[in-house]
């Protein structure tokens, strides 16, 4: 039996909605499906504005533009994350101040934030790795004390929660991804920016629309539209929004299935904890969203052997990020601090297959293979 790491889930209505979009004769962005997705998501998340974007990366770039960062401004972010979390701010000339992961889990260690704040610090970018919440009380306390913006990288976090509140709604801005590897997809690539501060909405619409006030024009708020600010093109085509709408209609079922798979892994792999192999860190403030399930092996050699053993049995398990502070691009620019926990998760963390259609029998196979590797069964 071959078990891939990920498999995009299709409901079946995607193609029908795409056809509808094509027949409507309006294919560019901000059409019926885009609006439908945005309104539905605003309601679900309880936020004043959601803007669909072409990717999670673009949502982060739009966020960085909105903050008006100047060259030399400093941004606090984890080292153990995807490059997009960093590139969005590097494009604005910001200096990245990498925060180490914590001993408990890959999320950044909020206890370090305060010590890294300087007069140039402008923003904190928590990444909700695996859809599990960072300690947002701690993040917000530091942000409030030093008047810093909080931009959540919630790319993996749709449906996850912090003290019962949806992730991506706790900072000024929240960036989500609808890439095919995430819980729901906009047909391969897509994303959204959640705007929680109403005073940022009008400018966000302008920056997303090539620096024009076209959105206001279509609402009849201005007589003609003009170039009024910097900007770029961040809006997705209607066929992507149509695809996404089909997935959002089934969101609850998708999430339930994925959360059930996650919960089974968590329960059935508990025996590993006694050996010192770590399971996901789930503090009581976080609600898992079934995005990603990881284990932290005791060494790089052990992880390599585990991945090889699973591969032998047709199961694809994979490691995750290489730390950004020691990456070829940023190492020469990094301030030299050692970030041992980020290195640790880079060496020892492994992700098990988790996708909506993963069957219970397949999952049992994976669990047995892992437990056998550790000689527990």
Structural tokens at position 322 = 């290489």
Binds ligand PLP (CB under 6 A): choice among 81, 110, 121, 196: 81
Total residues found in the chain within this entry: 377
Q: How many residues bind ligand PLP (CB under 6 A)?
A: 14
In the complex with ligand PLP, the residue whose CB is nearer, 62 or 369, is 62
Binds ligand PLP (CB under 6 A): choice among 14, 153, 238, 343: 153
What string of DSSP letters covers 293-362?
EEEE-SSHHHHHHHHHHHHHTTB--B--PPPSTTSTTTTTTS-----HHHHHHHHHEEEE---TT--HHH
Binds ligand PLP (CB under 6 A): choice among 75, 127, 132, 193: 127
Binds ligand PLP (CB under 6 A): choice among 34, 84, 259, 363: 84
Give yes or no for a contact between 176 and 299, defined as CB atoms under 8 angstroms apart.
no
Q: Which stretch binds ligand PLP (CB under 6 A): 2-10, 82-90, 158-166, 270-278?
A: 82-90
Q: Which stretch binds ligand PLP (CB under 6 A): 14-22, 152-160, 263-271, 279-287?
A: 152-160
In the complex with ligand PLP, the residue whose CB is nearer, 82 or 373, is 82
User: Considering the complex, what minimum distance in angstroms separates the CB of residue 23 from ligand PLP?
Assistant: 28
Question: If binding is defined by CB under 6 A, does position 57 make contact with ligand PLP?
Answer: yes
In the complex with ligand PLP, the residue whose CB is nearer, 181 or 304, is 181
Which residues fall within 8 angstroms of residue 73, CB to CB, at 6 or more apart? 92, 93, 94, 95, 120, 121, 122, 123
Residues in contact with ligand PLP, shown as a per-residue x/- string from 188 to 207 under the rule CB under 6 A: ---x----------------
What is the Cα–Cα distance from 278 to 105, expressed in whole angstroms? 9
Q: CB-based burial of residue 115 (10 Å sphere; 0-12 exposed, 13-18 middle, 19+ buried)? A: exposed
Which residues are the active-site residues?
182
Which residues fall within 8 angstroms of residue 310, CB to CB, at 6 or more apart? 316, 317, 366, 369, 370, 373
Question: If binding is defined by CB under 6 A, does position 239 make contact with ligand PLP?
Answer: no
User: Considering the complex, what minimum distance in angstroms separates the CB of residue 158 from ligand PLP?
Assistant: 11
In the complex with ligand PLP, the residue whose CB is nearer, 123 or 370, is 123
User: Considering the complex, what minimum distance in angstroms separates the CB of residue 168 from ligand PLP?
Assistant: 12
Question: If binding is defined by CB under 6 A, does position 56 make contact with ligand PLP?
Answer: yes
Question: If binding is defined by CB under 6 A, does position 177 make contact with ligand PLP?
Answer: yes
Strands 149-153 and 161-162: unpaired
Q: Which stretch binds ligand PLP (CB under 6 A): 30-38, 50-58, 66-74, 251-259?
A: 50-58
In the complex with ligand PLP, the residue whose CB is nearer, 84 or 121, is 84
- Residue 337 phi/psi, 5-degree rounding, is -65, 140
- Residue 50 phi/psi, 5-degree rounding, is -120, 135
Q: Estimate to the nearest angstrom the gap between the alpha carbon of 208 and the chain centroid.
A: 20
**How far, CA to CA in Å, does 95 sit from each of 192, 302, 347?**
25, 36, 26
User: Considering the complex, what minimum distance in angstroms separates the CB of residue 359 from ligand PLP?
Assistant: 25
What is the Cα–Cα distance from 171 to 193, expressed in whole angstroms? 12
User: Considering the complex, what minimum distance in angstroms separates the CB of residue 252 from ligand PLP?
Assistant: 22
Which residue of the chain is nearest ligand PLP when measured via CB?
56
Structural tokens at position 250 = 């089934």
Please report, as residue ranges, which positions from 243 to 302 form the binding site for ligand PLP (by CB under 6 A). none
In the complex with ligand PLP, the residue whose CB is nearer, 345 or 373, is 345
What is the Cα–Cα distance from 53 to 51, expressed in whole angstroms? 6
> Which residues are near ligand PLP by CB under 6 A?
55-57, 81-82, 84-85, 127, 153, 155-156, 177, 179, 191
């Amino acid at each position: 039996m071959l078990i891939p790491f990920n498999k995009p889930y299709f409901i079946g209505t995607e193609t029908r909605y795409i056809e509808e979009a094509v027949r409507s004769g309006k294919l560019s962005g901000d059409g019926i499906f885009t609006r439908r997705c945005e309104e539905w998501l605003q309601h679900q998340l309880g936020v004043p504005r959601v803007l669909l974007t072409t990717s999670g990366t673009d949502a982060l770039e739009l966020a960085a533009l909105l903050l008006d960062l100047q060259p030399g401004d400093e941004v606090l972010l984890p080292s153990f994350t995807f490059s997009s979390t960093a590139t969005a701010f590097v494009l604005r000339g910001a200096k990245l101040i990498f925060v180490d992961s914590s001993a408990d889990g890959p999320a950044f260690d909020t206890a370090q934030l305060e010590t890294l704040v300087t007069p140039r610090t402008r923003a904190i970018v928590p990444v909700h790795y695996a859809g599990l919440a960072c300690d947002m009380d701690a993040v917000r306390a530091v942000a409030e004390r030093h008047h810093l913006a909080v931009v959540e990288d919630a790319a993996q976090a749709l449906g996850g929660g912090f003290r019962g509140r949806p992730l991506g709604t706790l900072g000024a801005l929240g960036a989500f991804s609808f890439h095919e590897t995430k819980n729901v997809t906009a047909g391969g690539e897509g994303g959204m920016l959640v705007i929680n501060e109403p005073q940022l909405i009008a400018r966000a619409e302008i920056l997303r629309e090539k620096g024009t006030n076209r959105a206001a024009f279509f609402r009849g708020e201005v007589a003609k539209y003009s170039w009024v600010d910097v900007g770029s093109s961040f809006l997705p085509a209607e066929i992507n929004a149509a695809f996404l709408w089909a997935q959002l209609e089934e969101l609850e079922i998708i999430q339930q299935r994925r959360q059930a798979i996650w919960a089974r892994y968590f329960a059935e792999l508990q025996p590993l904890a006694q050996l010192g192999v770590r399971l996901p860190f789930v503090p009581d403030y976080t609600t898992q969203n079934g995005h990603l399930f990881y284990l932290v092996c005791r060494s790089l050699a052990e992880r390599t052997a585990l991945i090889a053993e699973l591969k032998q049995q047709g199961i694809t398990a994979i490691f995750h990020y290489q730390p950004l502070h020691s990456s070829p691009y940023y190492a020469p620019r990094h301030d030299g601090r050692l970030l041992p926990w980020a290195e640790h998760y880079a060496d020892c963390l492994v992700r098990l297959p988790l996708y909506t259609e993963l069957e219970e029998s397949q999952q049992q196979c994976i669990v047995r293979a892992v437990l056998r590797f550790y000689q527990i069964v």
